[in-house]
Amino acid sequence: MTELDLVVRARRVITEGGEPARCVGVAAGRIVAVEPYDSSLTAARSVVLEDDEVLLPGLVDTHVHVNEPGRTEWEGFASATRAAAAGGVTTIVDMPLNSVPPTVDTGALAAKRAAAEPQCHVDVGFWGGAIPGNTRGLRALHDAGVFGFKCFLVHSGVEEFPHLTARGFEEALTELRSFDGLMIVHAEDPDVIDGAPAPRGARYDDFLASRPRGAEDTAIAQVIELARRTGARAHILHLSSSDALPMIASARRDGVRITVETCPHYLTFTAEQVPDGATQYKCCPPIREAANRESLWRGLADGVIDCVVSDHSPCTPELKHLDAGDFGTAWGGISSLQVGLSAVWTEARARGFALADVARWMAERPAEIAGVRGKGHIAAGHDADFCVFAPDAVQVVDAAALHHKNPVTPYAGATLSGAVRGAWLRGEPIDPARPRGRLLTRAGAAVGASEAEWRKM
Residues at the site binding Zn ion, with contacts judged by CB under 5 A: 311
Q: Least distance to Zn ion from the beta carbon of 99, Å?
A: 12
Nearer to Zn ion among residue 63 and residue 382 (C-beta)? 63
Residue 457 vs residues 44, 92, 222, 426: alpha-carbon distances, Å: 18, 20, 44, 10
Q: Are 296 and 242 in contact (CB under 8 A)?
A: yes
Euclidean distance between CA atoms 134 and 379, whole angstroms: 39
**415-425 vs 428-429, strand pairing mode:** antiparallel
Tell the burial category of 386 from Cβ atoms under 10 Å away from its Cβ (0-12, 13-18, 19+). buried
Shortest distance, position 247 Cβ to Zn ion, whole Å: 22
Query: C-beta of 434: minimal distance to Zn ion in Å?
Result: 29
Closer CB to Zn ion, residue 94 or residue 311?
A: 311
Closest to Zn ion by CB, 242 or 335: 335
Nearer to Zn ion, 175 or 311 (CB): 311
Using DSSP, how many helices (H) and how many strands (E) does the chain show?
14, 17
Residue 195 CA from chain centroid, whole number: 31
Closest by CA position to 183, among listed 166, 170, 196: 170
Measured distance CA(400)–CA(408) in Å, rounded: 8
CB of 333 to Zn ion, least distance (A): 7
Closer residue to Zn ion, CB minimum distance, 98 or 346 = 98
Nearest distance, CB of residue 236 and Zn ion, angstroms? 12
Question: CA 25, CA 177: separation in Å to the nearest integer?
Answer: 40
Residues 6 or more apart whose CB falls under 8 angstroms from that of 4 comprise: 25, 26, 27, 32, 33, 41, 42, 43, 44
Least separation, in Å, of the C-beta of 311 and Zn ion? 4
Question: Minimum CB separation from Zn ion for residue 396, in Å?
Answer: 27
Our CB check for Zn ion shows the closer of 102 and 391 to be: 102
Query: What radius of gyration, in Å, describes the C-alpha atoms of the chain?
Result: 21
**CB-nearer residue toward Zn ion: 129 or 325:** 129
